[in-house]
A and B are shown apart, each in its own frame.
Chain A
Amino acid sequence: MNNFTVEAIDLTRLYGGREAVSNVSFTLSKGQVLGFLGPNGAGKSTTMKMLTGNLAPSNGSVKICGIDMMENPKEAKALIGYLPEMRPLYKELTVDEYLTIAARLHRVSASHIKKAVEIAKERCGLGHMSQRLIENLSNGYQQRVGIAQAIIHNPMVVILDEPTVGLDPIQIRDIRALIREVGSERSVIISTHILPEVEMVCDHVQIIDKGKLVFNGAIDVLKKQRIGNKLMIAMRNPPSAEEMLKVAGILEAESLEGNLMRVRFAEDTSPAEAIVQAAVVNHWGLYQIAPDQTSLEDVFVQLTYQEPAVSEPIAA
């Protein structure tokens, strides 16, 4: 027995011959939050449906805490809490009624149901909504009910498909804190379009494009790729690029519009102080210096559009 809570092995899903998801493999351990990133139609939701047993994979297998989803669906499903993209809410019921049904269906023992419902409501900030019909709740509160439903049985793996859609900024902050909290003792998989969100809540990131995994690794790797060794300097009297290169540790300098200059420096050096000193001595009129971050969006675009870039030389 290994300690993986989720194991996906060569997951493939065909829709009429077209591969919606092809050969996706990954593992997740206890205490990890995995972020699923990808453009529309990349196969995020399809992968999640296969992980939760809502869709049979054409090929490959899913194991939840070592239990095979195909062979033992009931046992495997008991360990999962799932919130699909479209919230599966029975709108004619009240919040309490709905959560009680969810708890019952997920094998919460009869004596604990009341407590489980209370805890789930408290964690999702639904305490004062108990007797309201779900139909009459706002979009954000309905989303919270959806999340409450997914965590009510305290599952080993929580899978949330775009959990922060339709929430206001404060609610988003609460939900992110909740995801972190759940993720500290369980495993969480979330999919999202919001890139900074991944950086805030996830330890692991997977970028999926056209059904294939194009990036799978720790968030730090992605962050490093993003931050790089670059500085953005703004000066009133900018020197030429050659002059800037004389400062120790700087490998490249590039003059930009509006008195800006971007420099790349060698790894494990921090030439910021040297640049400031040089600026004072040479009267460059420096008024701003900051690390130059490639936005996460750029990294995302780079990764998802890698394929055409690779195939270009062959075509030429």
Chain B
Amino acid sequence: MIINVARKELKSMFASPMGWVILSLLMFAFGTYYLNGVNDYFAVMSGAMRPAERTGVTQFVGQNVYGFASFMVLFAVPLLSMRLISEERRSQTLPFLFSAPISLTEIVLGKFLGLVAFLSILVLFIGGMLSTLNIWADIDFGFIVANSIGLLLMVASFSALGLYFSSMTQQPVVAAILTFIALFALMFLDRFFAGDPSNILASLSLTRHFQSFSGGLIDTADIAYFGLFIATFLTLTVRRLDADRLRG
């Protein structure tokens, strides 16, 4: 049943130009970064004489692309998540889902998975693009896998937050703006506490938890953080929709 809701969301996303445009624009941007990364690699490494200065091509290009990707999804996710519930609220299509034999949790999970599935296309494409380096170099696949998992978890967290803000309003644009502001604050929370890295608020920052993944390290603490983040906002969304049913 969750799958059916997710399939519906995917269909809606590809039925409008929005999904295609965002996918293609992002892939164009990542492709440019990838190309620049490869070019820069030769320029930088030809100047680096000592072995300590040398880094692998995977890390050099990968960090370039994944760093940029984690920043770009900050703009892409609010645009994609904004319509999930607010649009249904506005065009009064929610009763279609509410009167079908599915629970609210299934509806919310379905919508969330639909969006994550769409965004995972992006993550897969990036992974595939970097893997093409393997044709003429011996690349570190572990690094790409860790980064992909990290990016996917971060994108999923963004989606959960976006879904929650989308459930709070009837106006998709309002949802997008709120999501963007909230994500921006969460991303750069650690910058505000740069002088005091052990601050609790700083450890809430999404970027900080992405950092270990971007270094190629899969840390269960970070996975738990993203998992809790997603669970919290999905629960809040279910509660928000349940309030509709109770209060009318």
Whether A200 sits at the interface, judged by CB under 8 Å, is no
Closest Cβ–Cβ distance, residue B144 to chain A (whole Å): 35
Q: Is the CB of B93 within 8 A of A88?
A: yes
Taken together as a complex, chains A and B put the C-alpha atoms of A90 and B97 apart, in Å, by: 11
Closest Cβ–Cβ distance, residue A59 to chain B (whole Å): 13
Encode A71-96 as 1/0 by CB contact (under 8 A) with B.
00111011010101010111111000
Q: Is the CB of A107 within 8 A of B248?
A: no
Closest B residue, CB atoms, query A73? B103
Closest B residue, CB atoms, query A85? B92
Q: Interface size class for chain A?
A: 20 to 34
Q: Is the CB of A56 within 8 A of B245?
A: yes
By a CB distance below 8 angstroms, the chain A residues around B248 are: 13, 15, 46, 49, 55
Encode A26-59 as 1/0 by CB contact (under 8 A) with B.
0000000000000000000010010011111000
Q: Is the CB of B101 within 8 A of A88?
A: no
Closest Cβ–Cβ distance, residue B223 to chain A (whole Å): 32
The stretch of B7-15, B163-171, B208-216 that contacts the partner chain:
B7-15
Q: Is the CB of A90 within 8 A of B93?
A: yes
Q: Is the CB of A52 within 8 A of B91?
A: no
By a CB distance below 8 angstroms, the chain B residues around A107 are: 101
Q: A90-B93, A93-B12, A105-B5 are in contact. Are A53 and B99 (CB under 8 A)?
A: yes
Closest B residue, CB atoms, query A104? B4
By a CB distance below 8 angstroms, the chain B residues around A46 are: 248
Q: Is the CB of B94 within 8 A of A74?
A: no
Chain B, 91-118, CB within 8 A of any chain A CB? 91-103
Encode A120-149 as 1/0 by CB contact (under 8 A) with B.
000000000000000000000000000001
A-B contact pairs, 11 of them (CB 8 A): A53-B99, A54-B98, A54-B99, A56-B245, A78-B101, A82-B95, A84-B92, A90-B8, A105-B97, A105-B102, A149-B96
Chain A residues engaging chain B, CB cutoff 8 angstroms: 13, 15, 46, 49, 52-56, 73-75, 77-78, 80, 82, 84, 86, 88-93, 97, 101-102, 104-107, 149
Chain B residues engaging chain A, CB cutoff 8 angstroms: 1, 4-5, 7-8, 11-12, 15-16, 91-103, 245-246, 248
- Cβ-closest 8 pairs across A and B: A88-B96, A78-B101, A86-B92, A105-B100, A88-B93, A82-B99, A77-B101, A92-B15
